[in-house]
Amino acid sequence: MGLYMVERNVSDISPDRLRFYQRALHSACSRLGDSGRRVRYINSAVVPTDGRGLDLFGADSAEAIKEIHAVAQVPYERIVEVLDLTPRFLSPVTSRSRHPAKKGIDDTMSDSAPPELVRWLADGQRFFSLCLEQLGRADHLEAKARTLEAENEMLREEMARLRHKVDMLQTDRSEMVAAFNDLAGHVTQVVDHILQKAEGGENSK
């Protein structure tokens, strides 16, 4: 069985979605295993500064890895075969899985394991938890930004409608002023004509 690393972009994936992907991949591995295919989901890691996810699988071929991703409907960017260069003095249990027997780190480490390795694994678990927390915050901020952007777009549309209404009111006002001026001029002409006729009648007397 060979080792394969799957690289994926997790910069826009929430922690809940990431855990959902992990469960889906594990389920897909079990389904293929039941059909006689040799494939195993070993572990996962996240590079938060790059927004990259790295998953390690054991399988007979890269095609099996592609198949489980198709079954699980989990996106990925590339699948590459890797070499296992784990030193002989490290236990396969500690080098392959963060939760080999659902116990704490101290329980999974043998008495001969160096203290530096224990500390490294503990720091790694805390770091991974922090990564998931940061991804959750980023997802929340992104959702809030989308909401604010939608609200800004609605305000821009409302401002555009108000400008159009103001333009129409200004046009109506100009037309009303022009009509009033025309009416005032006509009334003035009529009054002048009446006055002229009245003065002409008086003069004729």
Predicted model pTM? 0.45
Tens digit of pLDDT for each residue in 52-96?
899 999 998 899 999 999 999 999 999 999 887 777 666 554 444
> pLDDT-derived band of residue 149, with 50, 70 and 90 as boundaries?
confident
* Domain covering 2-142, topology: Alpha-Beta Plaits (3.30.70)
Give the closest residue to 21 by CA, choosing from 65, 61, 69: 69
Residue 190 has pLDDT above 60, yes or no: yes
- What percent of the chain stands above pLDDT 70? 71
